[in-house]
Amino acid sequence: MLGLNKNDLTLLAIVAVLTLFAPFILNPFPADSAMAQFNAGYPDLMQRFIIFGIFAIGFNILFGLTGYLSFGHAAFLGVGSYASVWMFKLLSYNVVPAILLAVIVAGLFSVLIGYVSLRRSGIYFSILTLAFAQMSFALAYSVLSNPRFNLTNGETGLQVYKNDPQIFHGENMQDFPHFFGIYMNSTHTMNVGAWSFDFNAGYYLCAIVMILAFYLSIRIFRSPFGMMLRAIKSNQTRMSYTGLNPRPHTLAAFVISGMYAGLAGGLMAAMDPLAGAERMQWTASGEVVLMTILGGTGTLIGPVLGAGFIKYFENIFSKINDTILHQWFAFLPDGIEDFVVFIIHPFIGKGWHLTLGILFMLVVVFLPGGLVEGGQRIGKWIKSRGKSDDSTASTEPAE
């Protein structure tokens, strides 16, 4: 069905079910219990999961398949955001033209950057993309916001003002992005006993887009084109000896992943009609690299997992503070309790990046395949343990 084999179809179905029922799944704790702070089922965070998931899926098409490590993908995300805010400013708050333009503009931009950067490979490619991204960041921050030609609105960030043309903006429409009249911030809250679940229109738009994006990425992974990209990663020389030119394929992969980034940027602007230059900074590009690696490079589900993992723990860890820690460790004797809290303190709250950095190093050192590999290893371990029990049972009589 849908041109997928059985395994992929199951994977797609699992992802679809998980995303569509996320408001339930991510809210396992009653709203006013002590554990409610571990709930992630509020619209803003769920939207971030999905948007960064799309970004990472796209990045994985380039990095996971071809092995080209781009350090400038945030530039496409930023360009996408700017493009869609411009659509809001010029046409109306409808998200469809905004997202379409975001994808197209990011695609064109990535053709330009990719054409130049892909002339080199390895670390040179990384540095070139980094240089281009930093250049676009610097330009968006300063030059493109001069009074004569204000494209990005500099430090303030691009946003919609009352005196913008908005030629298709209806008379009694609210000033917020909408999908043919469904506002992105409209939320239906369902209360079931002590639980409350939020169903947000913006989230569901993102979720549907992500399922489509995920489907497309499965198709790319399984297509002859995807095979070609893998060939580029494993041995480019051999590929060119067989008479195939790797560059158009790599460029296509680069542009596709740039368009995914643009899509993510467009959605980001649709959820909150504001675009700032800091989205293009190289640390933002670093973040998507982290997500992809953490989840598992070159796997289908990995990037989504990585994005969800990083965004969830970012949110949870930065919320925990010393008081909560003291509550948790209250069962320990006083001195030890204080000591434990003192040890953990640097890793929580504002120190979340420290935890992230350590985690990331551990993953690269011990688990190069990311969370997916970790899962597989655990699975294997459980299986082999079952088997080894059998084997010892069978060998014992021989002794």
Partner 1 sequence: MDALILQILNGLDKGSAYALIALGLTLIFGTLGVVNFAHGALFMIGAFCAVSLSKLLQFSYVTIDETQKDFLGNPLKVETPYIESWFGPELGASIIDWSVPLSILLAIPVMILVGLIMERGLIKHFYKREHADQILVTFGLAIVLQEIVKYYFGANPIQTPPPDALMGVSNLGAWFGFDLPYPNWRIVYFCFSALVITGVFAFLQFTTFGMVVRAGMADRETVGLLGIDIDKRFTVMFAIAACVAGLAGVMYAPINPPNYHMGMDFLVLSFVVVVVGGMGSLPGAVLAGFLLGILESFASTTWATTTLPGINQIIIYLVAIIVLLTRPRGLMGRKGVMEE
Task: Give the residues lining the site for partner 1 (CB under 8 A).
Answer: 67, 69, 116, 119-124, 126-128, 130-132, 134-135, 138-139, 141-143, 146, 236-237, 282-283, 286, 289, 293, 346, 351, 353-354, 356-358, 360-361, 364-365, 368
Q: Tell me the residue type at 208.
A: I
CB of 127 to partner 1, least distance (A): 5
CA distances in angstroms from 296 to 263, 285, 358, 370, 372, listed in the order given: 22, 17, 17, 4, 5
- Beta carbon nearer to partner 1, 194 or 358: 358
Q: Considering beta carbons, is residue 58 or 266 the nearer one to partner 1?
A: 58
CB nearer to partner 1: pick between 43 and 369 = 369
Token pair belonging to 256: 């596709």
Task: Select 87 or 232, whichever has its Cβ closest to partner 1.
Answer: 232
By beta-carbon proximity to partner 1, the closer residue of 84 and 145 is: 145
3-state secondary structure 18-68: HHHCHHHHCCCCCCCCHHHHHCCCCHHHHHHHHHHHHHHHHHHHHHHHHCC
Which residue lies nearer to partner 1 by CB, 326 or 345?
A: 345
Place of tokens 């006993």: 193
Please identify, using beta-carbon distances, which residue of 63 and 215 lies nearer to partner 1.
Answer: 63
Least Å distance, CB 343 to partner 1, is 13
Q: Shortest gap between Cβ of 224 and partner 1 (angstroms)?
A: 24
By beta-carbon proximity to partner 1, the closer residue of 117 and 196 is 117
With H, G, I as helix, E, B as strand and everything else as coil, classify residue 94. Answer: strand
Please count the CA atoms within 13 angstroms of the CA of 29 that sit on its side-chain side.
11
Rounded to 5 degrees, φ, ψ at 189 are: -100, 130
CB 324 → partner 1: shortest distance, Å? Answer: 19
Shortest CB 221 distance to partner 1, Å: 20
Question: Mind giving me the DSSP string for 254-318?
Answer: HHHHHHHHHHHHHHHHHHS-EE-GGGGSHHHHHHHHHHHHHH-TT-SSHHHHHHHHHHHHHHHHH
The length of the chain is: 399
Q: Which residues pair with 182 in a beta bridge?
A: 179
Q: Tally DSSP H helices, then E strands, for the chain.
A: 16, 8
When the beta carbons of 218 and 348 are compared against partner 1, the nearer one is: 348
Phi-psi category of 115—alpha, beta or left, where left has phi over 0 and alpha has psi -120 to 50? Answer: alpha
Q: What does the buried/exposed string (b/e) look like for 241-255 if buried means 16 or more CB atoms within 10 Å of the residue's CB?
A: eeeeebeebbbbbbb
List beta partners, residue 187: 200
Distance CA 104, CA 100 (A): 6
Q: How far is the CB of 312 from partner 1 (least distance, A)?
A: 19
* Minimum distance of partner 1 from residue 57's CB (angstroms): 19
Q: What is the CA 57 to chain-centroid distance, rounded?
A: 7
CB of 279 to partner 1, least distance (A): 17
Closest approach of Cβ 232 to partner 1, in Å? 11
